[in-house]
Amino acid sequence: MGINAQTSVPSFSPGDTLTAANTNLLTNAPPVFSGTATRDAAFGGVGEKTLAEGQLCYLEDSDVVQYYSGASWLTVGPAAAGAVTLIETLSPSNVATTQFTTGSFSSTYKFYSIKFDLNNTFSVNLRSANSTITAANYGRFRYGVNSAGNAFLAVTGSETVWPLINVSSGDQYPFNGTIDTMSIPTTSGKQVISSIVQNQFSGSTNGQITNVCVYTANQAYDSLLFTGVSGNLTGTIKLYGWS
């Protein structure tokens, strides 16, 4: 935590004696928190302010100013509309699975984008409240160009994962691309994500695979789980939020 970070927003009563630390805290406006978990724990406890509409805060981990609307925290800045904020970076090193922190997807941002550069094929599952969603409600439309330069189209449904990367045995690493959410993930509904993947195929033939993935039942989520399909995962996965 930085020098201005705090873990509580105190509420004072008539007759209270304020210390120098209390006074310094009051001049630290808006309150500064290390992240969303510390922010959420700073209100409503014994001796703490009740969270109410109009409350401001600053988050150190994402470098944004937020306000409470009365229903949720919304981001004021960085100022430019459409600004992109790095939320989390995963750096798996020869592991079977890796996942974003619970709550990394929230109402703070309306759209999310994931950039990945991995050594292996992988699948994706939604996660909610520390639980991986494995019901057979994952459907997928896939279009691309294979290592022979031929176009292909495939539609699958009722799967327990989204196998976002499917390539033939002659295709070469790395696997890199983008995954985007097309709806607000914290809203319970039929979730849609899409991915565009650029692979370097054998024979120096570039191929692209585009997936449009739908979870066909109503389901909110706050994290994603990545699982290696034909081996362990090594590389980088970055999560960005669009304001």
Query: Mean pLDDT throughout 67-95?
Result: 80
Whether residue 79 is predicted with pLDDT greater than 70 in this model: the reply is: no
- Quickly list DSSP for 10-29: B---TTPPPPHHHHHHHTS-
Give 156 or 131, the one with higher predicted confidence.
131
In tens, the pLDDT along 135-186 reads: 999 998 888 776 667 787 878 889 999 987 654 444 444 578 889 987 788 8
- Reported confidence tier of residue 100, pLDDT bands at 50, 70, 90: very high
Mean pLDDT of the chain: 81
pLDDT at 92: 95
- Tell me what pLDDT residue 171 has: 45
C-alpha to C-alpha distance for 85 and 242, rounded to whole angstroms: 7
Distances (CA, A) of 207 to 142, 144, 202: 13, 7, 10
pLDDT at 110 over 50: yes
Structure-block tokens of residue 196: 């565009």
Three-state SS at 100: coil
Query: Two tokens at 151?
Result: 């176009």
Q: How many Cβ atoms sit within 10 Å of the Cβ of residue 154?
A: 12
3-class SS letters over 175-212? EEEEEEECCCCCCCCEEEEEEEEEEECHHHCEEEEEEE
DSSP string, 66-92: EEE-SSSEEEEESSSTT-EEEEEEE--
Each residue of 222-241: pLDDT tens digit? 999 999 987 899 999 999 98
* Residue with token string 């409240």: 129
Which domains are delineated in the chain?
A: 20-77 (no CATH), 84-242 (2.60.120)
pLDDT for residue 157: 86
